[in-house]
Structure 1
Amino acid sequence: MTVPPLTTEERRAALAKAALVRRERAEVREALKRGRLSLGELLAAESDAVRKMPVRALLESLPGVGKARAARLLHELEISESRRVRGLGVQQRERLLERLAPQG
């Protein structure tokens, strides 16, 4: 399948949109890392940019969760490495939240 050629204006608009989405995702990852946003809040109020993020990337943004722990969690919770947030089922979301809920 061939991608149709874009005009200069269409290309600029697409690049601007992509930059905006990358910035939004970076802000979400930073908020998760700093504790300003919980995983539960994120899953409840997800934006289009977040819906297309890999679950692995979100997990790696959480405090105390690196690449190895994120991979182990995905395996234990039977979530595909390539799964995106929008593709999570109800039970997968519940298991993620249950597993990663702050112990209080």
Structure 2
Amino acid sequence: MRFNEAAWRVLCIASANMAVKLSACSHDLYSTTFSSEIDAQVSYFPKEHRGFALQIAREWEYASAQVRAATQQWNADNGLCFHGIELGCCPAGCGSGLGD
């Protein structure tokens, strides 16, 4: 089976656009949303195409599950919420008692 790079790029663009709309201007939330969607899509690919697909997705700042987990741990250790915003300042209410 041949890898369709053009179709994959279209899917990456659509996933990135969706993640931007859902991110509320939070880079960490964008990264988590986009990368999770890419992981879900790549799981359907034959193993021999996954590496190249993820390499292309990095053009839209794809982050592996390990990188995302490390970012979340760093955020938690440094007073930031899941969205990467200072606790109490997040528009979702993180740290304010509203969205915890």
Normalised by the length of structure 2, the TM-score is 0.39
